[in-house]
Amino acid sequence: MPKHIAFIGLGAMGFPMAKRLCQAGFHLDIVLHRHRQPVEELVGMGATLVDSVATACRNADVIISILPSDKEMAEVLLNADVRGSVRPGTILLEMTSGTPNMMAKVEDVYVDLGCHVLDAPVSGGTIGAANGSLTVMAGGNQEIIDKLSSIFDVLAKQVFTVGQVGDGKAIKAINQMLAGVHMVAASEAIRLAQHLHIDMERLKDVVAASSGASWMFLNKIDTVLARNFEPGFKLDLMKKDIRIALDEGKQIPLPITGLVHELYQLMSSQNGDEDFSVISTLAP
């Protein structure tokens, strides 16, 4: 059973996931990037702060990475020192919502190094990360997925085996195009309800029992009405995910997705670091 984890990416998702793994008895090696607070808290829970990702990877049975995007995946995982430090047999559990293309590049490099690679983006948000109820979309070898069951038991409620390495990233992008479109649709519905002076609690009850219901409407209406846009999931990350879906589908028409991407793009420079539900305040 893997015990020693190099955990890279201690953000809104990675930090609560790393905390759960520490609490479950895994030994984590972590690195400081910009923010000290998650590092200090994890060290207080028994994690070891090391000087570089390469050092973290040197002793790891499993490397877990959950970084913002392709750019950071390349910077971290394709870095020459990191590549020089991983041992054959190490498992890379790559959980970033990146592109299938970047995942394929990373897979090629790590397979050449004698490592096993799982492509495993997640859904469930920061609440799912904190309470261990994430959905994992795992692309890769079932034997490797099974070897990581003790880690998945701590992090996830459901682990779907979705195909080859890269298929996890593709399915995550499809989920995100739906989530991004649903958030815009929910925003317009809430705006119309306000305009019509509808009782919001009644609206929630009715929609929850009707055909217009969506996870996004039911779960985001309260924070949208309270104008609480603490991330959560940053608008810029949603914009990135919808872009991945559009790029993967560039040979087919995806007009609604394209329009919704433009709306997120409009808000990106001012509101990119706020929760993506801030799209509800857009007045184009």
Q: Are 223 and 235 in contact (CB under 8 A)?
A: no
**Cβ count within 10 A of residue 231:** 19
Identify which of 27, 9, 245 has the alpha carbon closest to the alpha carbon of residue 151.
27
Size of the site for ligand NDP (CB under 6 A): 28
Letters for 46-85 (x = contact with ligand NDP by CB under 6 A, - = none) are --------------------xxxx--x--xx---------
Least distance to ligand NDP, CB of residue 25, Å: 23
Binders of ligand NDP among 166-225, rule CB under 6 A? none
Least distance to ligand NDP, CB of residue 202, Å: 29
- 272 sits in the region (left: phi over 0; alpha: psi -120 to 50; else beta) called alpha
Identify which of 126, 221, 133, 228 has the alpha carbon closest to the alpha carbon of residue 183.
221
CA dihedral 63, 69, 75, 76 (to 10 degrees): -10
Which of 5, 6, 10, 190 binds ligand NDP (CB under 6 A)? It is 10
Point out which span in 117-125, 184-192, 202-210, 217-225 binds ligand NDP (CB under 6 A).
117-125
Least distance to ligand NDP, CB of residue 151, Å: 16
> Does 126 participate in binding ligand NDP (rule CB under 6 A)?
yes
Q: Are 60 and 30 in contact (CB under 8 A)?
A: no
Least distance to ligand NDP, CB of residue 253, Å: 25
> Does 230 participate in binding ligand NDP (rule CB under 6 A)?
no
Which CB atom, from 182 or from 191, has the smaller least distance to ligand NDP? 182
**Cβ count within 10 A of residue 81:** 12
Whole-angstrom Cα distance, residue 200 to residue 128?
A: 26
Letters for 16-35 (x = contact with ligand NDP by CB under 6 A, - = none) are ---------------x-xxx
Least distance to ligand NDP, CB of residue 38, Å: 7
- Mapped onto helix, strand or coil, the DSSP state of residue 5 is strand
Query: Which residue matches tokens 């399915």?
Result: 171
**Cβ count within 10 A of residue 120:** 31
What does the binding site for ligand NDP look like in residue numbers (CB under 6 A)?
8-14, 31, 33-35, 66-69, 72, 75-76, 96-97, 122-123, 125-126, 232-233, 237, 241
